[in-house]
Amino acid sequence: TGSKLKRQPGSEKRPWNVHQPDNRCWNNEKCLNVGCSSSEVARVGSLDRLQPLCPVEGRFGGARSQVELPLRALQFKRGLLHEFRKGNTSKEQVRLHDLVQQLPKAIIIGVRKGGTRALLEMLNLHPAVVKASQEIHFFDNDENYAKGIEWYRKKMPFSYPQQITIEKSPAYFITEEVPERIYKMNSSIKLLIIVREPTTRAISDYTQVLEGKERKNKTYYKFEKLAIDPNTCEVNTKYKAVRTSIYTKHLERWLKYFPIEQFHIVDGDRLITEPLPELQLVEKFLNLPPRISQYNLYFNATRGFYCLRFNIIFNKCLAGSKGRIHPEVDPSVITKLRKFFHPFNQKFYQITGRTLNWP
């Protein structure tokens, strides 16, 4: 009811809605229940669960300080904000006076079909991270960009000042105007690029387009016909799925505006099989205290992917469209594509300082 949740002396039982994956909050830090009266909760009908507050060290781009952040602030706020926007409750009742809409301090700029959604959802496990739920397409869409930076800010989720907002729009990576536009907003922003083995990524890209065509009962060319120029029998670099997988070409354009130190490369293939080590590297890059643990990630044998565990009640798996079955592709085409991408991959390793396990 707004009172602090305290562990009873000699009791090992934890409050039902309190859980810290790495136990540091419970053992060494003070956890507080969200300050909301029972009458206020009753008015917020869509609020699925209360979440505890827990001190999180705020180190993103500033001095080290102890601040209180919600363990799952986003899940809590979304229910409150939904009611607030419908006019069902006041700003004071839902305690929005401490919340702000911040411009992102980090952006997942790509790559399409590299695992951007999975990365964003997994980073959202961290109590100091608040995600923008939708792809905003501010920097790559001229019409949106013309609406100005305040329009962009208002598309951001509410968060506490000590939290960081992250958005993702994979089209940013390959769109020519985007690096300069982001630089003008924030020249010190941190940029995340999640990549997969280029040939696999290109086939995944094709598969998504193919599925869209099939839903509309439209026919579509086979991958082999699109990826290989029928006149020269060479790789067709005019095919967008191929061009997108030439990572170094796009990265070089970004490096005209940002130093390589402001980029972090995420191994999208490893994020599928071993997500925790990749997420820990991102936490370090973003100067966030380590909070995501193995508890937050569990393998779903039915889906064949890792799912997310926010607390003892709330679990989440990515949409069913993730992990689509790829069509069979002629092995000779795969070999030709991998040979084509190889020199670009080597240059990508050299520029980024990260060597990936690609054939």
Give how far Cα 97 sits from Cα of 20, 100, 124, 302, Å. 26, 8, 22, 43
Tokens found for residue 99: 């919340």
Is 249 in the active site? no
**133 labeled part of a ligand binding site:** no
DSSP 12: -
Distance CA 97, CA 160 (A): 10
**354 labeled part of a ligand binding site:** no
Catalytic residue among 113, 131, 168, 336: 113
Give how far Cα 269 sits from Cα of 86, 116, 139, 304, 305, Å. 41, 12, 27, 14, 12
**204 labeled part of a ligand binding site:** yes
Tokens found for residue 161: 């000042």
Tokens found for residue 342: 């190889």
**306 labeled part of a ligand binding site:** yes
Question: Helix or strand or coil: residue 147?
Answer: coil
**325 labeled part of a ligand binding site:** yes
**196 labeled part of a ligand binding site:** yes
**24 labeled part of a ligand binding site:** no
Distance CA 104, CA 227 (A): 36
From 139, 121, 138, select the one nearest 130 (Cα to Cα): 121
Range 51-70 burial, b when 16+ CB lie within 10 A, else e? bbbbbbbbebeeeeeeebbb
What are the φ and ψ backbone dihedral angles of 33, each rounded to 5 degrees? -75, 150
Tokens found for residue 74: 């986003």
**268 labeled part of a ligand binding site:** no
**45 labeled part of a ligand binding site:** no
Are the C-beta atoms of residues 52 and 138 closer than 8 Å to each other?
Answer: no
Bridge-based pairing of strands 190-195 and 263-267 is parallel
Catalytic machinery residues: 113
Output the known binding site for 3'-phosphoadenylyl sulfate.
113-117, 196, 204, 306, 322-326
Output the known binding site.
113-117, 196, 204, 306, 322-326
